[in-house]
């Protein structure tokens, strides 16, 4: 999942689910775990603040997440 987020863009749970070929609930669970580790940040957008009128969440990799990926690449 971090490899997908490595592009620096904000991704929705739905998009991550499609790209990774896994369920929405698996993505949300994994993102929550990665957030607890400080590797991603999750921003929730309320439906009244959304142009589409639907609530959603964006997931982005953090600096710590990038550093962790860089560390893995060096090994």
Domain residues of the chain, as ranges? 2-74
Q: Helix (H, G, I), strand (E, B), or coil: what is residue 75? A: coil
24-28, 54-58, 67-71: range with lowest mean pLDDT: 54-58
Residues 6+ away with beta carbon under 8 Å from 54: 47
Q: Helix (H, G, I), strand (E, B), or coil: what is residue 60? A: strand
Q: What's the whole-number average pLDDT of the chain? A: 91
Q: Whole-prediction pTM value?
A: 0.84
CATH number assigned to the domain covering 2-74: 1.10.10.10
């Amino acid at each position: 999942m971090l490899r997908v987020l490595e592009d620096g863009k904000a991704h929705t749970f739905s998009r991550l689910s499609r790209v990774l070929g896994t369920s929405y609930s698996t993505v949300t669970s994994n993102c929550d775990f990665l957030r607890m580790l400080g590797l991603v940040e999750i921003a929730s957008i309320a439906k009244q603040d959304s142009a589409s009128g639907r609530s959603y969440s964006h997931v982005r990799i953090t600096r710590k997440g990038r550093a962790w990926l860089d560390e893995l690449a060096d090994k």
